[in-house]
């Protein structure tokens, strides 16, 4: 469960270039829920993810993960409870190491064990099983160096590595944005398989409106550091890409009128 209460963050306060990134943002995500965050450039999406993961300190407000207030918890302590996948498929994995070695690294990171026992048969079997969730055949490429994988395979591997420690929350930070459309769809398919199989509470930021329509339980539109629109349930099932884009244009028209 994630709860953001009245989160405020202003950059360059009191200066000519003052920027309000989060303007009393409130958001709740139930355990097992998959929320998809959309919004125009500068709406506050990255600031929100950075505040959740702890790399951005709030001026005021609270962030609760599974009921406990993590607002003042340092990044490395929050990292144990949160998984985050970034845009760049080259980050998050070690290129010159094999798929199996990368899985071991992630395992050691999340369990704080030592490298001593290495890639035992039991561990390899567990990694194969976990990789098979993705539906990409990576479980049959355990000895392949990661640099030889496609961008989509590599990003999907980053994802399954990130969630190995059963995190309380998965943050997907435009994790398909750097991929071509077909590869992005493959990664989204792998993502949904992992989220469903591991029952992950997930918050995904995307600029891809088709993905916002097709995936997740709720669309959350941010604007000027606040939630401006939420679409869930039957409404979400019926929403179309033009509908979502329409909400962007309404906002833009308002901004034009106000300026
Ligand atoms: N480190 C920073 N220093 C100064 N201003 C910042 C900083 N980070 C964000 N901002 C400002 O805060 C506001 C919100 O930015 P943020 O990056 O969170 O938006 P975003 O919705 O993620 O945008 P995008 O879709 O372009 O990534 C913007 O006005 C931005 O210029």
DSSP calls for 74-97 = -HHHHHTTEEEE-S-TTSSS-TTS
Strands of 226-232's sheet in order across: 82-85, 169-173, 202-205, 34-38, 218-223, 226-232
Angle between helical axes of 151-162 and 181-198 (0-180°, round to 10): 20
Cβ proximity of 243 and 236 under 8 Å: no
11 lines ligand 1 (CB under 6 A): yes
The span from the CA of 59 to the CA of 10, in Å, is 7
How high is the pLDDT of residue 130? 96
How high is the pLDDT of residue 259? 46
How high is the pLDDT of residue 252? 43
The span from the CA of 215 to the CA of 115, in Å, is 38
Reference 246, options 232, 231, 233; nearest CA is: 231
Which one of 21, 38, 58, 209 would you pick to mutate in the ligand 1 pocket, going by the greatest count of ligand atoms within 8 A of its CB?
21
Reference 48, options 225, 208, 211, 229; nearest CA is: 225
3-state per-residue secondary structure call for 126-149: HHHHHHHCCCCCHHHCCCCEHHHC
Q: How far is the centre of ligand 1, averaged over its atoms, from the C-alpha of 44 (Å)? A: 6
Domain ranges of the chain: 2-258
ipTM: 0.97
Q: How far is the centre of ligand 1, averaged over its atoms, from the C-alpha of 140 (Å)? A: 41
Cβ proximity of 207 and 6 under 8 Å: no
Query: Nearest C-alpha to atom 15 of ligand 1 is from which residue?
Result: 42
Strands of 19-29's sheet in order across: 19-29, 2-11, 60-65, 68-69
Q: Which atom of ligand 1 is nearest to the CA of 225?
A: 14
Its CATH class, for the domain covering 2-258, is alpha beta
Residue 6, φ and ψ in degrees, nearest 5? 45, 50
Cβ proximity of 83 and 27 under 8 Å: no
Virtual CA dihedral for 208, 210, 215, 218, nearest 10 degrees?
80
Q: How far is the centre of ligand 1, averaged over its atoms, from the C-alpha of 46 (Å)? A: 7
pLDDT of the chain along its 259 residues, tens only? 999 999 999 999 999 999 999 999 999 999 999 999 999 999 999 999 999 999 999 999 999 999 999 999 999 899 889 999 999 888 889 999 999 999 999 988 876 666 567 889 999 999 999 999 999 999 999 999 999 999 999 999 999 999 998 899 999 999 999 999 999 999 999 999 999 999 999 999 999 999 999 999 999 999 999 999 999 999 999 999 999 999 875 544 445 455 4
How high is the pLDDT of residue 91? 85
């Amino acid at each position: 469960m994630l709860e953001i209460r009245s989160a405020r963050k202003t950059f360059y306060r009191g200066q000519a270039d003052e920027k309000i990134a989060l303007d009393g943002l409130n958001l709740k995500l139930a355990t097992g829920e998959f929320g998809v965050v959309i919004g125009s450039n500068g709406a506050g999406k990255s600031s929100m993810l950075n505040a959740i993961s702890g790399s951005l300190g709030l001026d005021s407000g609270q962030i609760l993960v599974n009921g406990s207030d993590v607002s003042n918890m340092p990044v490395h302590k929050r990292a144990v409870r949160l998984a985050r996948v970034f845009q760049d498929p080259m980050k998050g994995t070690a290129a010159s190491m094999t798929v199996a070695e990368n899985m071991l690294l992630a395992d050691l990171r999340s369990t704080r064990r030592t490298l001593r026992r290495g890639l035992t048969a039991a561990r390899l079997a567990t990694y194969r099983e976990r990789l098979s969730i993705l539906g990409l055949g990576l479980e049959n490429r355990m000895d392949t160096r990661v640099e030889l994988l496609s961008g989509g395979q590599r990003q999907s591997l980053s994802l399954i590595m990130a969630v190995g420690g059963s995190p309380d929350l998965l943050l997907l930070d435009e994790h398909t944005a750097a991929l071509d459309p077909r590869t992005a769809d493959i990664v989204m398919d792998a993502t949904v398989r992992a989220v469903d199989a591991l029952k992950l509470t997930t918050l995904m930021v995307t600029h891809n409106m088709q993905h916002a329509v097709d995936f997740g339980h709720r669309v959350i539109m941010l604007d000027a550091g606040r939630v401006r629109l939420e679409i869930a349930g039957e409404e979400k099932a019926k929403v179309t890409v033009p509908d979502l884009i329409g909400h962007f244009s309404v906002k833009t028209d308002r901004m034009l009128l106000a300026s």
